Amino acid sequence: MASQRFNRNDDLIVENHPKSPIAEAFRSIRTSLNYLDPDNPIKTLLITSSKESEGKSLITTNLALTVAQNNKKVIIIDADMRKPMQHRFFDMTNFSGLSNILMHEISFEEGLRKTQYENISLISTGVIPPNPAELLDSNSMDDVIKKAKESADMIFIDAPPVSPVTDAALLSKKTDGVLMVVASHETDKELLKSSIKKLEFVNANIIGTVLNKYPLEKNSSYNKYYYYYGSNEKM
């Protein structure tokens, strides 16, 4: 694991551009989550996509920050052990984290780290293991989620895309809901249908989709935020 840090703070749109239309869009998603089922609120939310580079990690981070701004304690769990991103958004190292907790090398408390933002804590992926699916489908992962629920008001799990690996489908069984990120003009319709079927096969609770990378008019005052939010995102 490289020791280099990757500063991607500018991708935290709700913090750096709180008055932008995109920040407002995240607040609208937060409101929708709150009113989805008031009697049984979503506490553990898995965010995934059909394929790579649709912006699921960026969506996860900004949505988590939006909830935290509402005076809620939030934990982000980076479960994408194929291409971890969350530590980069928060300019943190990734020497140890989820994989190390699951392999009983460190405790949950040691793997849970506070970020520079109020009410936000992160469990990064840690050392990339050779068997991510087996670790994520383990009883130890159940314990991690249980402890996270005891420590925060809401947990966001950044999962790998559905189509290439089974990780997201396995994790979906352990969470209250699944949010699919769809890249405008990029996501293949048949691939999306296939991904949804894979999740439905394990009885995942798919609560909705987020349309990302929507092309705005070039002359629109919103256009610079589209570039930030969509076309500049690289997994």
Domain assignment present for residue 50? The answer is yes
When the pLDDT of each residue in the chain is averaged and rounded to a whole number, the result is 86
Domain assignment present for residue 40? The answer is yes
- Residue 219: domain span: 9-231
Residue 229 confidence (pLDDT): 36
Residue 9 confidence (pLDDT): 57
pLDDT per residue as tens digits for the range 23-58:
888 999 999 888 888 788 899 999 999 988 888 999
Confidence of residue 232 (pLDDT cuts 50, 70, 90): very low
CATH code of the domain covering residue 76: 3.40.50.300
Residue 8 confidence (pLDDT): 60
Domains held by the chain: number: 1
pLDDT per residue as tens digits for the range 76-131:
999 999 899 999 999 999 999 999 999 999 999 999 999 999 999 999 999 999 99
Residues 108-134 as b or e (16 or more Cβ within 10 Å = b)? beebbbebebebbbbbbbbeebeebbe
Query: 121, 115, 110, 204: which is closest to 155 by C-alpha?
Result: 121
Domain assignment present for residue 223? The answer is yes
Residue 65 confidence (pLDDT): 95
Q: Does 159 have pLDDT greater than 60?
A: yes
Domain assignment present for residue 189? The answer is yes
Domain assignment present for residue 74? The answer is yes
Domain assignment present for residue 119? The answer is yes
Domain assignment present for residue 3? The answer is no
